[in-house]
Amino acid sequence: MANKILIIEDDKLLKKIISKKLEKEKYETIGAVDGEEGLRLSDSEQPDLILLDLVLPETNGFEVLARLKKNPNTLKIPVIILSNLGDEEKVEKGLELGAADYLIKAHLDPGDIIERIKKVLNKKGRN
């Protein structure tokens, strides 16, 4: 059975590119365009991993991450932050809130994202 990955990203083009790359690698993807939708889907779909942007409409990524980690249904789902906010303070805050990894969009190509996802899923024993 394929690992299910929830992509919470308001940039539709980027979400589509990441989804296509993941599907090519045999992952199942679901997407959300804002934090509230991401929270609902993470609870109902129980993905194996969440890719989370920080700059989102309605509820920002830090708030989404904090709420995911407080919810008993979602607290064990690994979250990889995928953001253009790359200053040290933001990275530290994301990791302190419980993110498994923090990737800066500008420094990556989609292949790098796949490698980091595999690494996190292997750590969790979900791959």
Q: What tokens does 3 get?
A: 């690992």
3-state secondary structure of 50: strand
Q: State pLDDT tens for residues 19-71.
A: 999 999 999 999 999 999 999 999 999 999 999 999 999 899 999 999 999 99
The sign one gets for the Cα dihedral 17, 20, 24, 27 is positive
Q: Which domains does the chain have, with CATH numbers?
A: 4-124 (3.40.50.2300)
Strand 4-8, strand 49-52: pairing: parallel
pLDDT above 90 covers a percentage of the chain that reads: 80
Q: What tokens does 49 get?
A: 């991993």
Q: State pLDDT tens for residues 65-122.
A: 999 999 999 999 999 999 988 889 999 999 999 999 999 988 877 788 999 999 999 9
Q: Enter the DSSP assignment of 122.
A: H
